Amino acid sequence: MTWWREGVLYQIYPRSFADSNGDGIGDLRGIAARLDYLEWLGVDGIWLNPIHPSPNVDWGYDVADYMGVHPDLGTLDDLDALVAEAARRGIRLLLDLVPNHTSDRNPWFRERPDFYVWSKEIPNNWRAAFGGGPAWTWDEERRAYYLHNFAPQQPDLDWWNEDVRDEFDRILRFWFDRGVAGFRIDVAHALIKDRELRDDVLDPEARGGVHRIHSMNRPETHEIFGRWRRLADRNEPSRILVGEVYVLEVAEWARYYGSGTDELNLAFNFALVHSDLDAAKMREIVAATEAALPSEAWPCWTGSNHDAMRFTTRWCGGDEALARCALLILLTLRGTPFLYYGDELALPNGRVPKERLLDVAAPPRDPGRTPMPWTPGDGGWSDPWLPLEEASRNVADQRDDPRSTLHFTRELIALRRSSEDLRLGAYVGLAAPEGVWAWRRGERTAVAVNLAAAPRRSRASRAGSCSARGASGRARSCRARSGSSRRRATSWPCSGRRRSGRAARETPRASRSCRASAARFSSASVRSRSLSGPAPGRRSAAPARSRRSTPTCCRRGPGRGRSAGRRRRSGRSRASRPSSATRSRGRLRGPSCRGALGSGARARRGSS
């Protein structure tokens, strides 16, 4: 298996991550200075949004020079140093490749007009994503219209032109040779346009009122990914391609993986991004994804990015407890999770007053791009390019608080790293009460998350087993309140035939002896549960020492709680003991994450 399947990736919006020289703009040296933090968090790779010279009409997605570094962000030497420093910590670096369009300031636009798509008249009904007008703008010099699927300053390249393909081969090789581990590919589904420039198909039922079957989503695009995959695989170690495949129809989206080994390595799953944080809806998307992917392909999950903005706001309405549920989901599904900087803090969208908006899109995406809050107060920034008006959820405070979402995320990542089931195990949906989503990973690990507003009592049945804990409506507001029950150990002793891969996903069968203890979970507390207790066939009678437990997902104020006190007295912080959560016992109180994770279960599947 490979690092990018097992690892956790972290998206950095470079202008907003960390500023090394106090000019208010995040930069490459700033990122390098925070590698210790990323290593502590446990991420395996980072993806940087575009770093190249650009007039910044679309903040880097209008590239003027594909082989350079924007002076705001640093130099090529800084990039080389960042790659090397990251590698020393076992962290790979992915860049953002923008092959669909360039900036109109890219010299190619004047020197190689044949690289672009031209027409003497507006040939079709294609619309630009930005500005809302036609996707065609008149160019006085050429006395023709050029195509731009986004802003007029972002002319689309003509991927039917072999020279464009050769040029991008050179670009890929240039960065691979510098040690870059791969690329996130911008609008990967859009590179090739219909050769005859035919109309898109209008349909009031379709997203945006149109089926974009000619301006994008062309089958010929797959040739390009095949070509790049061969190029990426030729390197040692092989490099990876991660597609921004903005296709919500899951079966269509899955095609970008090719056979599973000959096109994209990963493609972001936007069906999940666009879902509500709802157990039934998400379960359905994950089941459809698992069914649609070729057996050798690997899913890729994210909740936030610089376009969709932050899941803590979109999915969770700012509720930190729900954000922990989302993190639990992203980090324990089968597939590679991408966290967006700040997700690990349950960071909501920032507030950007109208007069400070900078984005070309409507509605503007600036609230999802505000600076990373490193400290309380000014967040560690001086006069940043986008405002940082609120830094109550920040790295410094959360690092000091072992009950914080930051520690929760870190411990989840550590748990994932230590568990082969969580890294590589098959996904099998489990039966669950309404509002609860439960699944099994591999042979011995079960995950359950209660997304309902009310507590759920979960009772195992012969038909399947699951468990989930609930939270009261009050917990949704993430106020600290005491949990009312002691943690109860739960075991799901099973024996069953080992099954893996597609077969397990499609036709799970569990052993007859699979039983589960009823687990009753009370209101807003979060528990660690041992699922590693008795031998198959026996039930645990009492709370057992937890060999593996859910990461602590409740929040206590600093200084509260016995275990925190013990840790302080002993001088050992959680930070230095990443496995402590997996050993923790005792009463956990506080607002809910409403997620529980256990290992040792081979629960039966009741639904997908």
**Which CB, 368 or 543, lies closer to ligand NOJ?**
368
Q: Known catalytic residue: 389?
A: no
Burial class (CB in 10 A: 0-12, 13-18, 19+), 233: middle
Q: Which of 244, 319, 343, 443 is catalytic?
A: 244
> Which one of 27, 96, 158, 359 is in contact with Ca ion (CB under 5 A)?
27
In whole angstroms, what separates CA 382 from the centre of its chain? 29
Instruction: Report the candidate in 501, 469, 479 with the shortest Cα–Cα distance to residue 594.
Output: 469
When the beta carbons of 299 and 371 are compared against Ca ion, the nearer one is 371
Nearby residues of 483 by Cβ (< 8 Å), 6 or more positions away: 522, 523, 524, 525, 526, 527, 554, 587, 588, 589, 590
Shortest Cβ 149–ligand NOJ spacing (Å): 8
Cβ proximity to ligand NOJ: between 16 and 394 the closer is: 16
Tokens (6 digits) for 467: 């468990």
Tell me the number of residues near ligand NOJ by CB under 6 A.
9
Q: Is residue 15 involved in binding ligand NOJ (CB under 6 A)?
A: no
Q: Please indicate whether residue 244 is annotated as part of the active site.
A: yes
Whose Cβ is closer to ligand NOJ: residue 148's or residue 469's? 148
DSSP string, 543-560: ----SS-PPP-----TT-
Asked if 186 interacts with ligand NOJ (CB under 6 A), we say yes
Q: Is 366 in the site for ligand NOJ (CB under 6 A)?
A: no
Q: Element (H or E) spanning 433, and its range?
A: none
**DSSP letter for each residue of 352-413:** --GGG---SSSS--GGGSPPP--SSTTTT-SS-SS-----SS-HHHHHH-TTSHHHHHHHHH
Smallest gap from Cβ 361 to ligand NOJ, in A, equals: 6
The binder of ligand NOJ chosen from 29, 92, 193, 306 (CB under 6 A):
306
- For residue 415, the SS3 value is helix
Which position among 156, 186, 319, 344 bears the catalytic label?
186
Of ligand NOJ, Ca ion, none, which one does residue 27 interact with (CB within 5 to 8 Å by kind)? Ca ion
10, 15, 16, 19: which one binds Ca ion (CB under 5 A): 19
Q: Which is nearer to Ca ion, 68 or 534 (CB)?
A: 68
Torsion, Cα 412 416 422 424, to 10 degrees, reads 150
Does residue 341 touch ligand NOJ according to CB under 6 A?
no
Q: How far is the CB of 300 from ligand NOJ (least distance, A)?
A: 15
- Residue 572: which residues within 8 A CB-CB, separation 6 or more? none
Which residue, 65 or 80, has its beta carbon nearer to ligand NOJ?
Answer: 65
Quick check: 73 binds Ca ion (CB under 5 A)? no
Work out which of 12, 135, 187, 391 binds ligand NOJ, going by CB under 6 A. 187
| Segment 410 to 429, residues that bind ligand NOJ, using CB under 6 A | none
How is residue 307 annotated by DSSP? Answer: T
The residues of the shown chain that bind ligand NOJ, judged by CB under 6 A, are: 58, 61, 98, 150, 186-187, 244, 306-307
The residues of the shown chain that bind Ca ion, judged by CB under 5 A, are: 19, 21, 23, 25, 27
Would you name the residues annotated as active-site residues?
186, 244
